[in-house]
Amino acid sequence: MGTPAPRTWILVVLVFLVACGSSPPELMPNGPTKIASDAYELRMAGEVDDAVRLLKAGLAAHPESGVLHYELARTDLFLLDIENSRNEAAAAVDCAPRRSDYRYFAALASAYSLIEAAHQQDQERMKSMGAETIDQLETLLQNDPDHARARYLLVQQIVEMAPDVGLEVDDPMHHVEYLEARDPILGAKARCCLVDKTEQRRIWMRILDEHPHDVRAQVEAAEGLIGAGRLFQAEKCLTRAIEADSHNCYGLLRLGLAYAVRRDWVHALELTERYLRHDPPLALRAYALGRLSVIHRQMGDPEGAEELASEARDIDPHVWMTVMPPPREIFTPIVSAKPEPRKI
């Protein structure tokens, strides 16, 4: 028998692959996306060490999987391993440069690296990380101009960060106007970066008047009103948002912290306990218990504080112990997507 023509060989290979159920690694039942999703669920259940082991084993088998680097970057940030988080986020972007979620998280990781450098009083690194944050966001917007949250974050970084680290940046007004035309809610949030707290309140009250039934408007207005110091109005917005969807309870952590900054421990306690009644994921429950521990200590109850801290550590040995709540971006499930384009 003669050697089959090349076309015949191709057909034979295709039939074999189909018969074996072969598919791109990202779409395989036990492929990288499934591994990353399982690791995320482990982390949410307080099993962070197991999540890290699973991700590293996955990367040993799939070293160029963006989703595995991405989830490891989020896990490293949860562990406050800032430098590793930044490195893994950069690796995710290298694997899939056009994935907006990977690049957005890479910008966040760079921003956290800037904060870490600020704590170390490393001015040179602060400037470098600030430039990297802005570069990531600008590149993201070149590929995905309607990524509203990235455009808002860029405005925020230009206004609030760049002057402090000595970066020369473009005027953010065109970004603000672009957002206002396409996403009035995040446009309002961007506009608030440019004005004082009195005007911020006016902007959010206008948004609430114009979008009375928009849950996202309530959530963003609550956050904006917290920043403007209007805590009572912020709580009203959060209450409406939570009535529509209990997952919006995350804002109660921010509001409780704002009252704690004012040393209004009674309100801080009430709001944090209210958050816990919404049965958050174990990782966030541990953080909230840690915050309650701090509040009890400030209220003169060291025994109660230690009991709460112990409960938090029992739930999650790696409980997030910084003052600010962990970023929401590390608490969103892994979303299945088309297979990542392979490097050539």
Closest C-alpha among 288, 311, 275, 315 to residue 48: 315
Amino acid identity, position 160: E
Give the residue among 292, 258, 290, 287 at the shortest CA–CA distance from 272: 292
Tell me what pLDDT residue 173 has: 97
Task: Tell me what pLDDT residue 214 has.
Answer: 97
Domain boundary among 149, 168, 194: 194
Position 18 scores a pLDDT of 31
Domain boundary among the residues 42, 62, 96 is at: 96
Asked if residue 314 belongs to a domain, the reply is no
Query: pLDDT tens digits for 60-117?
Result: 999 999 999 999 999 999 999 999 999 999 999 999 999 999 999 999 999 999 999 9
pLDDT on residue 19: 34
Residue 107 and residue 140: Cα distance in Å, rounded? 9
113 & 183 share domain? yes
pLDDT at 335: 80
The length of the chain is 344
76 and 158 share one domain: no
What is the extent of the structural domain holding 131? 100-194
Enter the pTM of the model. Answer: 0.87
Q: Considering 77, 96, 115, which residue would you say is the last residue of a domain?
A: 96
Kindly state whether residues 105 and 173 are assigned to the same domain.
Answer: yes
Residue 87 shares a structural domain with residue 104: no
* The token pair that represents 166 in the structure block: 């000595």
CATH number of the domain to which 80 belongs? 1.25.40.10
| Assigned domain for 137 exists | yes
CA dihedral 129, 322, 149, 174 (to 10 degrees): -50
Helices (H), the chain: 6-19, 32-44, 48-61, 66-78, 82-95, 100-119, 123-143, 148-156, 162-165, 173-182, 184-192, 197-210, 215-227, 231-244, 251-261, 265-276, 282-298, 302-315
Q: How many domains does the chain have?
A: 2
**CA distances for 203 relative to 37, 69, 188, 266, angstroms:** 39, 39, 7, 29
Residue 252 confidence (pLDDT): 97
How far apart CA 255 and CA 108 sit, in angstroms, is 22
Asked whether residue 304 is assigned to any structural domain, the reply reads: no
Tell me: do 164 and 180 sit in the same domain: yes
Ranges of the chain with pLDDT below 50 = 1-24, 338-344
- State the burial class of residue 63 (Cβ atoms within 10 Å of its Cβ: 0-12, 13-18, 19+): exposed
Check whether residue 89 and residue 127 sit in a common domain: no
